[in-house]
Amino acid sequence: MPTLKRVSISMPIELADDLDYISGRLGVSRSGFVSQMLLAGDIHQLRTLLSHIPEQPSDGDLKRFRGDSKAYIENALANLQAMQGGLFDDSGN
C-alpha cells in the first residue's frame, strides 16, 4: 500500500461544489477523486520538466533552448497542454 500524505488546499466555492457533486455521483471520496485526477494528468511529468530548469537561471541557461533540450521541453509542454482541463487553457475564463 502506498504511503499517503495528508494535505489541505483552498479552492473557490464553485470548484468545491463541483468536486463534491462529482465525487458523490462516482461514489468515491473527494481525496480519492482529486488524487486520481492528478495522477491522470501526470503531475510527475511536470515535476520532471521543472527539475531540468534551474531555479535561478543565468543568461546562459536561458539561451540553451535548442537541440535535444528544446525537443524535450516542447514535447513535455505539449503533453501538459493536452491534459484534461488544459493546464494552459484559459478559454473557460
Which residues contact residue 34 at a Cβ distance below 8 angstroms, ignoring those fewer than 6 apart?
19
Angle of helix 30-40 versus helix 13-26 axis, rounded to 10 = 100
Sign of the CA dihedral 24, 5, 87, 48?
Answer: negative
Q: How many residues comprise the chain?
A: 93
Domain region containing 69: 42-86
Same domain, 32 and 46: no
Q: Which grid cell is 7?
A: 494535505
Mean pLDDT along residues 9-20? 92
Confidence of residue 71 (pLDDT cuts 50, 70, 90): confident
Task: State the total domains in the chain.
Answer: 2
Q: Residues 32-51: pLDDT tens digits?
A: 888 888 887 777 777 877 77
